[in-house]
Amino acid sequence: MTINIGVIGTGAIGREHIRRCSTVLQNARVVALNDINRENCQQIVNELTPEARIYDNAIDLINDPQVNAVLVTSWGPTHEAFVLACIEAGKAVFCEKPLAVTAQGCMNIVEAEIKAGRQLVQVGFMRPYDSGYRALKAVIDSGEIGEPLMLHCAHRNPEVGDSYTTDMAITDTLIHELDVLRWLLDDDYASVQVIFPRKTRKASSHLRDPQIVLLETTKGARIDVEIFVNCEYGYDIQCEVVGESGIARLPEPVSVQLRSAAKLSTTILTDWKKRFMDAYDVELQAFINNVISGEMTGPSAWDGYAAAVAADACVAAQTSGEIVPVTMPARPAFYR
């Protein structure tokens, strides 16, 4: 069986996902495209999907009976309306992070999905599909390092565009850690705090960079995450878990060790697309398989909501400088 996919948002990651649906993954083809910039769609048709139809309106794409499932890869503030329209149309939807830019927006999606009576949404949190994070989780779950007590994490980008603002360090960047760490620890957040170290001269005037986010989980683990999006040297994701009897670290991406010119070196990646290349393949193939089987697995609308509740608290903590409590309602039985 081959499912027909419609894609809303044909920018950087939209293009990547279309490429993988067309050339890497099984049982899917991209038949419909929409973007506020039609030129982006035309370029995809010319280069990747000659048979795909371009729609001027995203809602028309969602409602077209020939579209079986939808990828939402437009920018964050548009996600909520498109996901709600997919649920209304009874169609499976893979939505890139964040599911919505506020917790209330995510809750609107959770409520619509529960009302529809079946899970239709998968959120594009790809790290739980990354083999490194899965290996790290397997070590934690095995009990080999005892209970996790402290985590030291970093999310570093070489640079960001001028439109990137201080709150986006949370809603666009930290949101990955907010998702993957609760999955890794099988825990939720109890409180958050944000600290601003000395600012790098490489950041724009409207961006505080770097930032340190301190999280406390309901089981009492303490997490520090450094967000540094103008670090210049590379795209670098770090995660170290300190347990009662040992330390486990996220593996580095595979890189040849080089002895040359009196130096011993390995390469650090600079492009986020390459760092999680395999994880994106696995998460999207899982989505396609889910559409075919009719049963959603992986990051749910509830996971999107949980990350957004913590993100809202972090944004509030950026402004207040205070420790902000994170209050999560109980997980509805629908998502168990």
95 binds ligand NAD (CB under 6 A): no
Q: Which does 157 bind (CB under 5 to 8 A by kind): ligand ISE, ligand NAD, ligand NAI, none?
A: ligand ISE
Count other C-beta atoms under 10 Å from residue 51's C-beta. 8
10 binds ligand NAI (CB under 6 A): yes
**What are the phi and psi torsion angles at 24 (to 5°)?**
-115, -45
Torsion, CA 73, CA 75, CA 77, CA 80, rounded to 10:
0
Binding mask 87-126 for ligand NAI (x = CB under 6 A): ---------xx--------------------------x-x
Nearer to ligand NAD, 10 or 285 (CB): 285
Binding mask 179-218 for ligand NAD (x = CB under 6 A): x--xx-----------------------------------
DSSP for residue 77: G
**Per DSSP, which regions of 2-43 are E strands?**
3-8, 28-34
Which residue sits closest to ligand NAD, CB atoms considered? 286
DSSP for residue 50: T
Stretch in the footprint of ligand NAD (CB under 6 A) among 16-24, 38-46, 126-134, 251-259: 126-134
Instruction: Name the burial class of residue 318, with classes exposed (0-12), middle (13-18) and buried (19+) by CB atoms within 10 angstroms of its CB.
Output: buried
Q: Which does 17 bind (CB under 5 to 8 A by kind): ligand NAI, ligand NAD, ligand ISE, none?
A: none
**What are the phi and psi torsion angles at 259 (to 5°)?**
-110, 110
Cα–Cα distances (Å) from 84 to 136, 220, 250, 270, 329, in that order, read 35, 35, 35, 35, 21
Cα–Cα distances (Å) from 123 to 14, 39, 80, 227, 330, in that order, read 14, 27, 12, 22, 20
287 binds ligand NAD (CB under 6 A): no
CA–CA distance, 295 with 297 (Å, rounded to integer): 7
Nearer to ligand ISE, 3 or 227 (CB): 227
Stretch in the footprint of ligand NAI (CB under 6 A) among 71-79, 180-188, 224-232, 255-263: 71-79
DSSP for residue 232: S
- Footprint (CB under 6 A) of ligand NAI, residues 261-280: 272
Stretch in the footprint of ligand NAI (CB under 6 A) among 72-80, 233-241, 288-296, 312-320: 72-80
Kindly determine how many residues on this chain lie close enough to bind ligand NAD according to the rule CB under 6 A: 14
9 binds ligand NAI (CB under 6 A): yes
- Which of 85, 28, 40, 79 has the alpha carbon at shortest distance from 61? 85
Q: Using CB under 6 A, list all residues that contact ligand NAD.
A: 125, 128-129, 131, 134, 179, 182-183, 282, 286, 297-299, 303
Q: Using CB under 6 A, list all residues that contact ligand NAI.
A: 8-14, 34-37, 40, 58, 73-76, 78, 96-97, 124, 126, 172, 272
